């Protein structure tokens, strides 16, 4: 069982959960899995990025690795460059959608895929005792920020259409895509209105980006744009907004992409991977086309694992992570946005019509707790969940789970009645909070 690694690498508040020592030892341990190997590192805009970069790189170099700093770029760019340029490992320094005080370390294999659990455990074991090589055996460090151009070129080559005549609002969350996303859509002919497209890492994910689609919706209406696209801090998520302000979340994007790939004969086994949070409406809509939905645990690494196991071409999460294996085996917000736009153009529809899906009303609550495992293991909570399941039998779902990246328990209630879902979610929230306030 991984101790340091969560569902998406190492993550925490810098200098509390994630400090110089942890980053150094992580780099040093990784260097021992590829003696003398090549490692590429990217980062988002967080002000702590340089701090972690120096610590991580020092550990890698001390272990003999050849390190290349690619600068600020999206997570998917690191995965793409790792695979196409033959690096042994790729590392992205980011805490994704989390606030600025957080940061994290995501590690990719030479295949451009997130590390398997067995590899994570090898890295963790190496954290115990660092290795310091003799001076003539230590590694090297260099910067090459031109590598991001190769990723931009890949995206442009992937585009099957022009976007001339479209006015698009881009919300880059003051994160990793702040420069690349506007450049990509401008090169394809779109008129781009930038929102939160700065390098200000202190404002990353701060009431902007994919977690705040209502902010994007107001900008789309203000500028009479055709639609808006919002990314998170490392741009591996995408949420869209229509010209009328309707939110197109990951469930709707997944459904739309599935139908498009199905029509092109590119949806392997006519099956798509979602998660335990994927709306029941998605399953109903896909069923009309004979498309099967498989559910994985929440977390894009689990979606990717299910796709690899079954040989599937598409998977995604409600949060906006989409994996399209024909191109990459990790979530890529820019690639997903690009394909969505091109498919929409080919269909000659606007975004609202193109991505329409009748979803079940769903209520999600996130509660901060000090001990996730204690609360989730409580018999009181188990009985409360069972009572909700019984009430929803045959007409809804309940899911209570621990966040893999934050000290939170998440509640999801789905039924045909939103008021009913809210009431049941409030009930479970009260139970959890009462347990949180009760000493173990």
Structural fold of domain 164-247: Alpha-D-Glucose-1,6-Bisphosphate; Chain A, domain 3 (3.40.120)
**What span, in angstroms and rounded, lies between the C-alpha atoms of 245 and 221?**
7
65, 37 contact by CB (below 8 A)? yes
- According to CATH, what is the number of the domain 362-436? 3.30.310.50
DSSP label at 240? E
Q: Supply 58's token pair.
A: 């020092």
Judged by average pLDDT, the poorest of 106-120, 241-255, 257-271, 308-322 is 106-120
Beta bridge partners of 399: 412
Domain positions in the chain are 10-148, 164-247, 250-354, 362-436
DSSP label at 114? B
114, 368 contact by CB (below 8 A)? no
The answer to whether residue 1 scores a pLDDT higher than 50 is no
What would the pLDDT profile of 30-58 be if each residue is shown by its tens digit?
999 999 999 999 999 999 999 999 999 99
73: nearest Cα among 45, 104, 106: 45
145: nearest Cα among 59, 43, 223, 251: 43
What would the pLDDT profile of 156-176 be if each residue is shown by its tens digit?
999 989 999 999 999 999 999
Q: Within a 10 A sphere around the Cβ of 66, how many other Cβ atoms?
A: 19
Judged by average pLDDT, the poorest of 4-18, 48-62, 106-120, 138-152 is 4-18
- Determine the pLDDT at residue 47: 96
- Determine the pLDDT at residue 7: 66
To the nearest whole percent, how much of the chain has pLDDT over 70? 98
pLDDT bracket for residue 385 (50, 70, 90): very high
**Are 10-148 and 164-247 in the same CATH fold?**
yes
- Determine the pLDDT at residue 103: 97
The answer to whether residue 22 scores a pLDDT higher than 70 is yes
Exposed e or buried b for every residue in 314-324, given b needs 16+ CB within 10 A? Answer: bbbbbbbbbbb
408, 369 contact by CB (below 8 A)? yes
Q: Class for domain 10-148, per CATH?
A: alpha beta
Active site residues: 96
Average model confidence (pLDDT) across the chain: 93
- Determine the pLDDT at residue 134: 78
Taken in order 230, 232, 238, 241, the sign of the CA dihedral is: negative
- Cα angle for residues 242, 246, 251 (degrees, 5° grid): 95
Is the pTM value of this prediction over 0.85?
yes
**What span, in angstroms and rounded, lies between the C-alpha atoms of 235 and 215?**
17
- According to CATH, what is the number of the domain 250-354? 3.40.120.10
| Residue 394 φ then ψ, to 5° | 80, -10
pLDDT bracket for residue 3 (50, 70, 90): low
The answer to whether residue 439 scores a pLDDT higher than 70 is no
195, 163 contact by CB (below 8 A)? no
pLDDT bracket for residue 137 (50, 70, 90): confident
What would the pLDDT profile of 227-264 be if each residue is shown by its tens digit?
999 999 999 999 999 999 999 999 999 999 999 999 99
């Amino acid at each position: 069982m991984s101790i340091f690694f969560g569902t998406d690498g190492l993550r925490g508040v810098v200098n509390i959960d994630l400090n110089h020592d942890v980053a150094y030892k992580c780099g040093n341990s990784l260097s021992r899995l590829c003696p003398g190997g090549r490692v590429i590192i990217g980062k988002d805009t967080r002000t702590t990025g340089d701090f972690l970069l120096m610590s991580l790189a020092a550990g890698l170099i001390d272990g003999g690795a050849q390190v290349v700093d690619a600068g600020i770029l999206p997570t998917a760019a690191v995965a793409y460059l790792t695979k196409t340029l033959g690096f042994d490992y790729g590392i992205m320094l980011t805490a994704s959608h989390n606030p600025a005080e957080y940061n994290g370390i995501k590690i990719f294999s030479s295949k451009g895929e997130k590390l398997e659990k067995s590899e994570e455990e090898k890295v963790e074991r190496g954290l115990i005792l660092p290795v310091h090589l003799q001076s003539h055996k230590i590694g090297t460090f260099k910067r090459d920020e031109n590598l991001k151009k190769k990723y931009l070129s890949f995206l442009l080559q992937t585009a099957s259409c022009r976007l001339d005549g479209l006015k698009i609002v881009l919300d880059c969350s003051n994160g990793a895509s702040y420069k690349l996303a506007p450049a990509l859509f401008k090169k394809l002919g779109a008129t781009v209105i930038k929102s939160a497209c700065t390098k200000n890492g202190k404002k990353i994910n701060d009431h902007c980006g994919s977690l705040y689609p209502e902010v994007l919706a107001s900008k789309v209406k203000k500028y009479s744009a055709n639609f808006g696209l919002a990314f998170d801090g490392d741009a591996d998520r995408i949420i869209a907004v229509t010209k009328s302000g309707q939110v197109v979340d990951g469930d709707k994007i997944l459904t739309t992409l599935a139908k498009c790939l199905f029509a092109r004969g590119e949806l392997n086994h006519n099956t798509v991977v979602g998660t335990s949070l994927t709306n029941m409406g998605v399953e109903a809509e896909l069923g009309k086309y004979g498309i099967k939905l498989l559910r994985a645990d929440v977390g894009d690494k689990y979606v990717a694992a299910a796709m690899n196991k079954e040989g599937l071409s598409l998977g995604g999460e409600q949060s906006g992570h989409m994996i399209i294996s024909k191109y990459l085996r990790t979530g890529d917000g820019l690639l997903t946005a690009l394909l969505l736009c091109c498919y929409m153009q080919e269909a000659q529809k606007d975004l609202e019509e193109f991505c329409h899906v009748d979803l079940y009303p769903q209520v999600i609550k996130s509660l901060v707790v000090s001990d996730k495992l204690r609360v989730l293991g409580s018999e009181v909570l188990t009985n409360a969940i069972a009572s909700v399941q019984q009430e929803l039998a045959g007409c809804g779902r309940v899911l209570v789970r621990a966040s893999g990246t934050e000290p939170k328990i998440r509640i999801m209630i789905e039924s045909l009645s939103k008021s009913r879902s809210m009431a049941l979610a409030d009930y479970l929230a009260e139970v959890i909070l009462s347990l949180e306030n009760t000493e173990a």
